[in-house]
Structure 1
Amino acid sequence: MFKAKLFNQFLAIGWLFILLFSQLQASEKQTLLDNIKLPKGFAISLFADNVPNARTMTLGNKGTIYVGTRSKGNVYALQDINQDGKAERRYIVASGLNMPNGVAYKDGTLYVAELNRIIRFDNIDQQLSQPPKPTVVYNKFPAKKMHGWKYLRFGPDNKLYTAVGAPCNICLPKEEVFTSLVRLNPDGSDLEILARGIRNTVGFDWHPMTKNLYFTENGRDWLGNDIPPDELNKWTTKGQHFGYPFCHGGELLDPEYGIDKQCKSYTSPQWNFKAHMAPLGIRFYRGQQFPKSYHHQLFVAQHGSWNRTIPHGYRIALLTFKAGEVVSEKVFAEGWLGKNGKAMGRPVDILELADGSLLVSDDLAGVIYKITYTGN
């Protein structure tokens, strides 16, 4: 009798701690939301608040959101069943994977980019609670972890696009697949290297009108607080070289690898971001919910600096295009970086929903935000 009573007391105390911890987490997330500043007329809320290390996102049938991770090895599926702007259901559709950062969806099939391979889950929408075993699509990517996590998208040509980053901060890899943008058929055949000289890109999108492919690139570290710039690049022609490791930002020769080189020999960026902003996911706005000034403009998740004395980034920027050229950059959403220089969150990827609202993933806070335009 005494042991049973003691056990029940311990159990009650345990549940109390869980409840208090849950309330504390909810309070912290509400504080984070309250800190985020948006332009007048926009609102932000939590779409999902239990998605540890949430990275890239893709939209499936019936509004299901699939989310990849880098450090957790999980792929999640989120569903907003009652259309109240918050995901009531969360499924783990894959676990134990090797840096499953990239996710792409097409015709009922979920594609996942791991460190050294691409796999797929067929008929995933009907099997969220009991997901099928994956089928290997391609398994010949290098297994180097540094900059090995991948972004994955279907292009307008219905081919899969991804990239293989540099296995270092600054080096000239011997294997030609490193520092490259590649594409392949959905069945894994016909891998093509489209471009080289790309240190690390984990975000790209196609312009809604021109169909040109734009991608972010994270510049090298350890050259100082303010150089080299991070980049937004445009791919147009097979065989382009974007400069790494010889030239950075279209104008700065590398002190080690840029000797006897000229920056004009390489494709220059469309836009230079400040150094160490770490631009990741990007999305051209195609919807109608936001005001016309946002239509076909580019949202950029700036993950934030680590190799800088005074941190910056940790925000969402908006690049304005005119006549096919980037003409300006301004802050769209900020507040993830506290006044004490400590990050409360780190935006990673941006996804547009059918109603024109945006989802933003945060791998530090482990949440997905929803940004809507209310006009108020």
Structure 2
Amino acid sequence: MPTHTSDLINFDSLLSDDELQWRETIGAFVVEEVKPYVGQWFEDQHVPVELIPRFGEMGMIGAHLKGYGCPGRSAVDYGLAMMEVEAADSGLRTIFFVLGSLAMTSIHAHGTEEQKNRYLPKMAAGEIMGAFGLTEPTAGSDPASMITRATYRKGQGWELNGEKRWIGLAHLADVTIVWAKVSTEDLIAAGYGDNVRKDREETVAGFIVPRETEGFDPVPIDHKLSMRVSTQSHITITNALVPEDSILPARFGLSAPLMCLNEARYGIGWGVLGAARDSLEQAIAYAGERTQFGKPIASFQLTQKKLVDMAVALNQGQLLALHVGRAKDAGTLDIPMISVAKLANCRTAIDICREARTVLGGNGIRHDYSPIRHAANLEGVRTYEGTDEMHTLILGQKITGIGAFS
């Protein structure tokens, strides 16, 4: 039998026993130790970093990564975890994809063996935190126009200068992966000539930057009306010197950070459905209890239509997420499929949260009920890791073979 009242298609029957157990373990933890407090956390703009070691113990941080102390679970397992966490709050789920999909994946995919062994086990355990610095004040959807630059100083290391903005966890993280332009000449001088294209004057490289690095100044961004259970920073980088071995040398070019973004986008395609499911199930429960004209509002045809439309849309989104996850695990994933899930499921989720709020009436604007908080969060989620417009153009190029990005 379906676990959730919103499940009209017995979605659970499509999951293995191990997947169901994994989901229920995480879901139970979220219900008991997160949901009772998350509304107040949102109001207080509290970031519950105290939970990170607990999630590390449960094998949730970097769950999809293998080796180096990482859990090594499937893509579907990772997606299910993100859905359960986001059923509490999108900001909390953001913490996990910053740690796992972005910071840890950067090191796992592009770092040296020494870097992987040094950082990944502690990050997976929740003992240290990482951040991912790609976006800039003038380079959001167009990361190729970044101005942050790394310059090689022989015998000293790499000197970084520039700015980053909307960088999750940066002022709390022990290390931030900073992506910067670097000249081919400098990479050759540093001994990385075999890994760089010599027909280009410059490329993009990632650098592991410890929080205490002089000249590295992350400042939290305040006055947010979305994503208040997570934190983002504006980083000013002025003559920040990091050791020569701070560079991630396995891959250079913009494809390196974009590979990490695809992992994050995949998790979002699952996660937003948790926010939608939680909003819908609160609306279903409320409609059964709230009486008007002498009977519960769930007995009215218009209310039932709202609930059914939301449930059908949610179930369709779950099928899409599962299909993409199964393809990812099978090695048959076509990358634009991730854009389909991110684009469609964000749209679906925010529509469900808004509609669920209407079922709650005036009571729905208090943090006692989650839909309006979820809807506010999803305004942020819909924007980051690729706006609707960017994913539309990715899919437009897939369909037509023509890039329309500029």
TM-score by length of 2: 0.24
TM-score by length of 1: 0.25
